[in-house]
Structure 1
Amino acid sequence: MNLRQLEYFVAVAEEHKITAAAKRLHITQPPLSHEIASLEGELGVRLFVRRPRGVDLTDAGRVLYSRATTILGLCSSTAREVSDVGLGREGTLSVGIISSSGGQVPNEQMLPLVDDYPKLSLDLREGNTYEVLEMLRRRVVELGVVRTPFADDGLTCHYAEPEPMAAIIPPNMACGDRDGVVSLDELAGKPLVIYRRFEKLLRSLFDGRGLHEFVACVNDDARTTCVWSAKGFGIGLVPESFLSLVNLGSATVKRVEEDALTTRMAVVWPEDRELSPLARRFVDMFDAAYATGE
């Protein structure tokens, strides 16, 4: 007894006619009759009572029909589940994510993930870039969404396009004479609010130009930078895309006009680790929105 025989048997049982069942199955009548006779011979019982206008199930046939529909339904649902897992439509994906990613991740290209609820769920673990990389190392998460600069040794990295930094200038301060942009020279000597990962880069840039850098506040989160800056403690420097997530009150925002002071979002994972289908789907969605080909 095989699945094809059960499918043929169910079709005959539901259509009550060999000819109608053959049409439903898109086969001719002789092979269908042969398979039903073979099934009856294998089981040693009659499954149908032949009548002038069709066939009806015997008692044995009714038992087999109940089991066959269950078996075929289970096979169908199993095939769908296996396909869903293989296509990344089912399962739980653990992602380490930084706060400053919110302007780019999630995005519209990732909305199809919602269509797969409740079979699919996302387990988001938040931290700064260094903490997310440590989560990857300890296998707490499968993917990391981080921001440059970071050490990419041993990592597979898919980058978004570079984005400029923005200066958040509180109402009690002024910086630069132009609307919308400010230079590194104009930021020199001003009290800056930065998060720690940009400390070395900024120091290198200021020193390289012979400019005075005044860091008034160092922290570990873009949200903290925005809050302290908006409240008047200094000029905050954050990735431009992050600004869409915060209310800066009456603070002024200007793009930092400095090619060397840019940052990039990246989805990363250990290069020796094979991604699950769900993780690969997430990466593909990121690439569809931001891929640079690197």
Structure 2
Amino acid sequence: MPLRFTLRQLEYFVAAADCGSIAAASQKLNVSSPSISTAISQLERELGMPLFVRQRAQGLKMTEAGRTLAAQALRVLDEATEMTRLAGAVSSTVQGPLRLGCLVSFAQIVVSGLRRSFEDEYPAVRTSQVEMTQAEIFAALRRAEIDMALTYDLNLPPDLEFHGVKNLPPYVFLAPEHPLADRESLTVHDLATYPMVLLDLPISSEYFQSFFTREGLRPVISERTRDMAVMRSLVANGYGYSIANFRPLNDVSPDGKPLKFVPLVGELRYLAMGVLTVPGATSSSTNAAFVEHCRAKLNE
């Protein structure tokens, strides 16, 4: 059965019972007498019984039901105060479970290391992760299935909060024997006539292709993959170049072949990597600590 009264109504009821009059309770709580009187009347109506006998000359006299319920109401208010205290203690301590969502492209490069270093710094925290697309991240945050997510600042909805931690310039991935591999930097005009291996993830693929359309060009897409590791292997084996905003920590593909990474320059929008949350989530010390940990570790 849903609650039919509020803690505020209980507070006014207990104060009136303790003081013996509406006027005295009004002074104690610094609340107007009509507000207290209305709250008590609403509480009596919801409970279906009188709590006081109103005596014009003598103030309030509690009924037998009122005395019984006043004692219980005081315990409820004490428990509510304790719950508030505990919530404050938990929110100010870096502890407990932390459920992380992450884009697939981040999962194999940075997330495991961030989790490990965060748990080493805060041993009372236990993290878990799940790899998702951008749309899946939005839905999971709204359903409270995850606490926060590592993602890009692409197509973000207004009901979620993005906390940027690192700017990510684009790189061109190339096999060492590719004709462009020895350049110090490249533009989309340099790339336009060569086969491209597109990292074909939702939203990300549109972002990479926009580099070309902004210049009136179309990339020659020869291969598509949703897996960062597969993309690197295809590039290393000569199936084309690719573009990504996160440079791997080593220059070897998953099948052991070498790769080269050349900065892509021009009028390009850099992506921001960050932590996405529901509004107000960083009021929790654990969540706030993770955001700051990401900033520190990813910008070392």
Same fold (TM > 0.5) = yes
User: Residue 247 of structure 2 contacts residue 261 of structure 2 at CA under 8 Å; is this kept in 1?
Assistant: no
Instruction: Report the aligned-residue RMSD.
Output: 3.2
- Letter of the structure 1 residue corresponding to residue 141 of structure 2: L
- Asked if the contact 1:89/1:113 (under 8 Å) is kept, the reply is no
Q: Tell me, which stretches of 5 or more residues in structure 1 are unaligned?
A: 1-80
Quickly say closer, same or farther: Cα 1:276–1:129, change in 2 above 3 A.
Answer: same
Runs of 4+ aligned residues of structure 1 deviating over 6 Å after TM superposition are 81-84, 106-110
Deviations 1:2-37 (A, max 9, x none): xxxxxxxxxxxxxxxxxxxxxxxxxxxxxxxxxxxx
Q: Is the contact made by 1:100 and 1:242 (CA closer than 8 Å) also made in structure 2?
A: no
Q: Which residue of 1 aligns with 2:252?
A: 247
Q: Is the 8 A contact 1:170 1:231 kept in 2?
A: yes
Listed one character per residue, the Cα deviations across residues 159-201 of structure 1 (whole Å, up to 9, x for unaligned) are 134221111112453227x533111111102111122333323
Call closer, same or farther: CA 1:97–1:288 in 2, change over 3 Å: same
1:96 is displaced (CA, Å) by: 0.3
CA contact (8 A) 1:128 1:220 kept: no
- Partners of 2:195 and 2:236 lie apart in 1 by 13
> How far, CA to CA, are the matches of 1:200 and 1:108 in structure 2?
28
Instruction: Quote the residue 1:193 is aligned against.
Output: 197
Query: Which among 258, 266, 269 is matched to residue 258 of structure 1?
Result: 266
2:139 maps to which of 134, 143, 150: 134
Aligned to 1:228: 234
Measure the CA separation in 2 of the matches of 1:115 and 1:290. Answer: 15
Equivalent-residue separation in structure 2 for 1:109 and 1:252 (angstroms): 28
Give the counterpart letter for 2:278 in structure 1: P
Structure 2 letter corresponding to 1:190: Y
Shift in CA distance, 262/224, structure 1 to aligned 2, threshold 3 Å: farther
SS in 1 for 2:198: strand
Which of 273, 278, 283 lines up with 2:286 in the alignment? 278
Matches within 5 A, 1:137-148: 137-148=142-153
TM-score normalised by length of structure 1: 0.60
Contact 1:94 1:122 in 2 (8 A): yes
Which SS does the other structure have where 2:129 is aligned? strand
Question: Structure 2: how far apart are the matches of 1:103 and 1:163?
Answer: 14
CA contact (8 A) 2:115 2:127 kept: no
SS, match of residue 92 in structure 1: strand
Q: Secondary structure at the match of 2:218?
A: coil
1:137–1:242 distance in 2 versus 1, CA, 3 Å: farther
Residue identity in the other structure for 1:219: T
Which of 83, 102, 111 is residue 97 of structure 1 equivalent to? 102
Does structure 1 conserve the Cα–Cα contact (< 8 Å) formed by 2:98 and 2:128? Answer: yes
| Matched residue type, 2:218 | H
The aligned length equals 208
Partner-residue secondary structure (3-state), 1:123: strand
1:209 match: 215
SS in 2 for 1:278: helix
Deviation at 1:288, TM superposition (A): 4.4
Give yes or no for the alignment of 1:123 onto 2:128: yes
Superposed, which structure 2 residues align to 1:283-294 within 5 Å?
283-288=291-296
Q: Give the AA of the match of 1:224.
A: V
Aligned to 1:166: 171
**Residues 167 and 235 of structure 1 are in contact (CA less than 8 Å); yes or no, is this contact kept in structure 2?**
yes
Task: State how 1:62-73 maps to structure 2 within 5 Å.
Answer: none
Structure possessing the higher radius of gyration over alpha carbons = 1
Q: What residue in structure 1 maps to residue 36 of structure 2? A: none
- Do 1:158 and 1:267's aligned partners in 2 also have CA atoms closer than 8 Å? yes
Q: Equivalents in 2 of 1:199, 1:257: separation in Å? A: 18
Q: Percent identity?
A: 16
Identify if the C-alpha distance between structure 1 residues 141 and 203 changes in structure 2 by more than 3 Å, giving closer, same or farther.
same
